[in-house]
A = this chain, B = another copy of it.
């Protein structure tokens, strides 16, 4: 399997400039805020979303600056979301580094998150493209709406698989979609190509989140670095749980666990049921259908290094193990 560095080779210089933009943005205000921002930006993620923006721009000759500004914006938006998510989940660590809320308290984390949300919007404005700016604002609405849908639905048996797809679109695929589409639009791609890259990115995001949700049930606590079935233990139903509940409508420990959320035995039984290989396989098959559709969209685009990278990214979504 190729490393991320290898996949991102066609856009490595652009990604480096995105990092530089993040760093220079950290020093705009007063020392406390700068320190907080530097801490956050150094908790380096995979830069998956800005890479998508840069790769999606590569189907049309273009001035790189606007696309790189956009790539910086989508990464900032992702970071802001993570900060508020960690605050809500009371998580103390992210990628091995202490979270803002753990270091300086939830109130600081809420405000630094707000600042980064706003900062991401300011970057988008510098693209000068009102359509892209508006889509970006709608994406922030999607992200908070998706998180809220998840939060208020916990431990409710009214959660549906349709609601699940809406939720993962809002909380994950929406930003993937905007990352790809905006790269295409700002590079001057045709409306058809921009639409194909938007839909490709959306399907990639849907599959990415489904696999994330499947991994939550796979392997052992040691392998995945958190308790197996942590979504379920928090009262959140995801794809494998929905498949299990559909397959065993009568004898279902999930709803019994939701009635008694303190009952560890019921949780263990529910996780056991969902973890069955046939259920995990079915869930991967559904994620695989999204990837197949994404690949079809990709093949409508001219072949180049970036298309190869996007195809490789897609393949890795199904193969990743963390």
Docked-complex contact A115 and B29, CB < 8 angstroms: no
Is A231 part of the binding interface, using a Cβ–Cβ cutoff of 8 Å?
no
Docked-complex contact B111 and A140, CB < 8 angstroms: no
Docked-complex contact B128 and A140, CB < 8 angstroms: no
Docked-complex contact A134 and B130, CB < 8 angstroms: no
- As a 0/1 sequence over residues 108 to 151 of chain A, the CB contacts with chain B under 8 angstroms (1 = contact) are 10111111011101101110101001100111110111011101
Provide the bound-state CA to CA distance between A107 and B101, in Å.
13
Docked-complex contact A110 and B110, CB < 8 angstroms: yes
Say which size band chain A's interface belongs to.
35 or more
Is A2 part of the binding interface, using a Cβ–Cβ cutoff of 8 Å?
no
- As a 0/1 sequence over residues 89 to 113 of chain A, the CB contacts with chain B under 8 angstroms (1 = contact) are 0000000000000001011101111
Main secondary structure of the interface of A (DSSP, over half): helix
- As a 0/1 sequence over residues 221 to 257 of chain A, the CB contacts with chain B under 8 angstroms (1 = contact) are 0000000000000000000000000000000000000
Provide the bound-state CA to CA distance between A140 and B93, in Å.
27
Q: Which 4 A-B pairs have the closest CB atoms?
A: A118-B140, A125-B134, A114-B144, A121-B137
Determine how close the nearest CB of chain B comes to the CB of A165; give it in whole angstroms. 14
